[in-house]
Amino acid sequence: MTSTRRGPVRGWGSSAPRRLYSVVVFVLLASLDNVAIGLVPPLYGAIADSFEVPQRLLGLVTAISFLISAVAAVGWAYFGDRTNRKPLLMIGTLLWAAGLGGSALAGNYPTFLAAQLLAAVGLGAVGSVGYSVVTDLITPRRRGLVMSFWGLSQGVGTLAGTLVGGLLGATDWRRPFLVLTVVGLAATAAYLFTYDIRRGQSEPALAAALAAGDDYDYRISRTDLPVILGRRTNRWLILQGLTAQAAFGSLVWLPVLFRERAEDQGYTAATAIVVGSVFATLFQLGGVFSIVGGLIGDALQRRTPSGRAMVASVGIFAALPFYLVLFFVPMRIDVPDGAGTGAIVGAVLASVVSEPTVGLSLLAAVLALALTSANSPNWFALIADVNPPENRGTVYSLGNLVNGVGRAAGNGLVGVAFHGLRVAFPPPLNYAVGLAAFQLFFIPTGVMYWLAARTSPKDIADVRQLLHARGRKDPGAEPPA
């Protein structure tokens, strides 16, 4: 900590409305980048037909994009932990908007792939740098709750992408990409009016020093990497993403499963795309219960420092049976074939009540997503709990990198599995069997959270002790790390 000799700083240079505006912008942008990610899967068939390529090559686009975004996020996060974070977020948003615009204008598959990869590079900034900013707004006591909104905004974004892609792209697959390009440009303009959030401003141990005008000027360096990986909880939080995201990554094929079920029952391709998108969106609504998972994590964490990890572990294990029910319960789809989008959506919603198989599938989906969604806010919160402010963005990005590898593997390999399973299981059963098999990756994920529950108490105590020491130190007594 060093002193700026400015004396007390009330509000740290920002009004309450501007602070609230900044929080809203950061959370909405976390949602928008996931809208961009969710656009392509519902349109695999239409884009593949347009470019005259197999659908599995579109699945490859999504898989590679996940990986590129995760790799780019490490670089974005490292520079974000060293420099001003606001310009990086603006540049990243402009890049993904340009990539989506290029996707809409692409005339062939290679051009579409290149545009999607450009978008992926930009998307890497929003998650990693944005996470670092948001953690500086949240006190440890409420991290689970607030991070549940951060994670929920991303989940809602993915659902919105699925829905927007299916509805706007049912007759013209390029339209949703153009719409989101305009939204991305507007989001970049919105960044201009946010204020720069100070590192460490949410930490109780640093509050007095920051309020007195001191700066938390510790920044990450390359020598911090061994320290980061030396925290055992970090290792489990990073590694769990490999298996968790293999399972989650396969779920982007849910619209395809429901679309294939509709086509198997005789519906036209355009109607089936809408049906698949609406069902997939509806069945992922259980993700809103991540707020409950965050609240439970906060409450249990106040009782025991292993609380957050235990909540995530139990939720992951308990969800598995409900996923199997979701994939294998036969659904009777009753919608007006060839009707307008509104009529089809209305029929799908009515079937939740009128058709028992749809209602049972929805119940299983809500329970499965509600239980696994406890993973997200507690993962976010644990990274902040076991790392000092100058390391959080980088640790998040390393976890996100492993997440990207796992998600790319899940998304790409499950497509290959669907193709191979066609020999024994005709569509849509091959999709159900493949998705069910990939959910078994949740088992090692739950084990790793259980291991994190054993290591997190010591790591949390070490970080608190470090921040207290820095907060008490006389200005200039210690050079920045």
**CATH of residue 77:** 1.20.1250.20
Phi and psi angles of residue 12, each rounded to the nearest 5 degrees, phi first? 50, 45
Say if 437 falls within a structural domain. Answer: yes
| pLDDT of 461 strictly over 90 | yes
- Whether 371 maps to a domain, the answer reads yes
Residue 221 lies in a domain: no
**Gyration radius of the chain over CA positions:** 23
Q: Report if residue 251 sits inside a domain.
A: yes
What pLDDT score does 165 carry? Answer: 80
Tokens of 90: 């603006």
Question: 213: left (phi > 0), else alpha (psi -120 to 50), else beta?
Answer: left
Query: Higher model confidence: residue 342 or residue 1?
Result: 342
Q: Is residue 480 part of a domain?
A: no
Determine the average pLDDT of the residues in 374-381: 90
pLDDT at position 460 is 94
- DSSP labels, 108-166: SHHHHHHHHHHHHHHHHHHHHHHHHHHHTTS-GGGHHHHHHHHHHHHHHHHHHHHHHHH
Tell me what the mean pLDDT of segment 160-188 comes to: 85
Say which range, 12-16, 115-119, 284-288, 361-365, has the weakest mean pLDDT.
12-16
Q: Residue 15 in 3-state DSSP?
A: coil
Higher pLDDT, residue 384 or 334: 384
Report the C-alpha gap between 313 and 394 in whole angstroms: 24
Mean pLDDT of the chain: 84
| Best mean pLDDT range from 180-184, 236-240, 275-279 | 236-240
What is the span of the domain harbouring residue 359?
Answer: 16-214+227-472
Query: Measured in whole angstroms, how far is the alpha carbon of residue 49 from the centre of its chain?
Result: 29
Average pLDDT over residues 273-291: 80
- 95-130 burial, b if ≥16 CB within 10 A, otherwise e? bbbbbbbbbbebeebeebbebbbbbbbbbbbbbbbb
Q: What is the mean pLDDT of residues 214-240?
A: 89
Looking at the structure of the chain, the number of domains it has is 1
Residue 385 in this model has a pLDDT that exceeds 50: yes
123 is a domain residue: yes
Q: Tokens for 214?
A: 């001191």
The pLDDT score that the predictor gives to residue 234 is 96
Tens-place pLDDT, residues 391-414: 988 898 899 888 878 877 887 788
Q: What is the pLDDT of residue 475?
A: 47
Q: What per-residue confidence (pLDDT) applies to 476?
A: 44
pTM: 0.77
Please indicate, yes or no, if residue 137 is contained in any of the structural domains.
yes
Tens-place pLDDT, residues 321-375: 999 888 888 888 888 888 878 888 888 888 888 888 888 888 888 899 889 988 9
Q: Would you say residue 200 lies in a domain?
A: yes
pLDDT for res 441 = 94
H or E element: which one contains 3? strand 2-3
pLDDT of residue 143: 81
Pairing state between β 214-215 and 2-3:
antiparallel
Choice between 452 and 332, residue whose per-residue pLDDT is larger? 452
pLDDT of residue 7 exceeding 90, the answer is no
Q: Is 60 exceeded by the pLDDT of residue 94?
A: yes
- The whole-angstrom separation of Cα 239 and Cα 378 is 15
